[in-house]
Amino acid sequence: MSRSERLLDLIQILRRHRRPVSGLTLAGELDVSIRTLYRDIATLQGQGAPIEGEPGLGYVLKPGFMLPPLMFTDEEIEAIVLGSRWVAKQPDTRLSAAAADALAKIAAVLPDDLREELDATALLVGPSAEATREGADLGIIRKAIRAERKLEMTYQDASGTGSRRIVWPFALGFFDKVRVMVAWCEMRQDFRHFRADRISELAAIDTRYPRRRAAMLKEWRATLDTTRKL
């Protein structure tokens, strides 16, 4: 591995850690000595990378640091193209348009050789099974999730019984045929999964729910091994 590749790998490793990580841990992941790791940290800092920390305390990369697009590997380009093409085929029209726009923006700043690789990638997304027609505007759900806002809706369960609900949405699952909103339900006082095709009269409430989305997501994940509610 060349030194430039190692420096890039070091940036990528730091990106994965939100909290300070020790030099020994970083050196172990890169398979280099601790002295080499310290030199690499100093080199990146000298080139403008906002790495904070010091020996004995650990290091962290401040958010917002952008790598030049020429640093994409072949596999990373394939992943970007494949993911964008899959999202572009989803029934959420705004999200699919955003995926196409994002891919165009990436292509616009890539060097010529990498742009050719992006255009010529052989990883294709085939036609999906016919999806169930959405009952809810997924854009409203996604916006509420980002803003941590409550939603009011009418929901029809599997037996056809409708009920009026106020929920705290924090995740949206994309499956082959259905989309599923994961939320805390005020009526049930528990986590619930709501199929988007069974949601009607959906409206955002200009009220922030009293918990953080990340905390609810963590709690919900912990329940999956013992309880699954559809």
Is 31 in the same domain as 49?
yes
Nearest in space to 68 (alpha carbons), one of 104, 117, 106: 106
Residue 114 belongs to some domain of the structure: yes
Residue 31 belongs to some domain of the structure: yes
39, 61, 83 - which closes a domain = 61
Range of the domain at 97: 69-120
Is 36 in the same domain as 82?
no
Q: Quick: pLDDT tens for 78-104.
A: 888 888 888 888 778 888 888 888 888
In the predicted model, is pLDDT for residue 223 greater than 90?
no
In the predicted model, is pLDDT for residue 135 greater than 80?
no
12, 39, 61 - which closes a domain = 61
Is 99 in the same domain as 47?
no
Residue 208 belongs to some domain of the structure: yes
First to last CA, the chain: 49
Is 74 in the same domain as 51?
no
Is 175 in the same domain as 110?
no
Residue 13 belongs to some domain of the structure: yes
Q: Quick: pLDDT tens for 141-178.
A: 999 999 999 999 999 988 889 999 999 999 999 887 88
The domain tally of the chain equals 3
34, 61, 88 - which closes a domain = 61
User: Residue 230: its pLDDT value, please?
Assistant: 46
In the predicted model, is pLDDT for residue 224 greater than 60?
yes
Cα separations in angstroms, 174 against 95, 114, 178: 12, 30, 7
Is 150 in the same domain as 199?
yes
Is 51 in the same domain as 93?
no
Residue 131 belongs to some domain of the structure: no
Is 81 in the same domain as 154?
no
Angle at the Cα of 112 from the Cα atoms of 110 and 118, rounded to 5 degrees: 65
Is 143 in the same domain as 219?
yes
Residue 202 belongs to some domain of the structure: yes
In the predicted model, is pLDDT for residue 229 greater than 50?
no
Pairing relationship of beta strands 190-195 and 199-208 according to DSSP bridges = unpaired
Instruction: Write down the pTM of the prediction.
Output: 0.61
User: Residue 202: its pLDDT value, please?
Assistant: 94
Residue 230 belongs to some domain of the structure: no
Residue 175 belongs to some domain of the structure: yes
**Phi, psi at 6, each rounded to 5°:** -65, -40
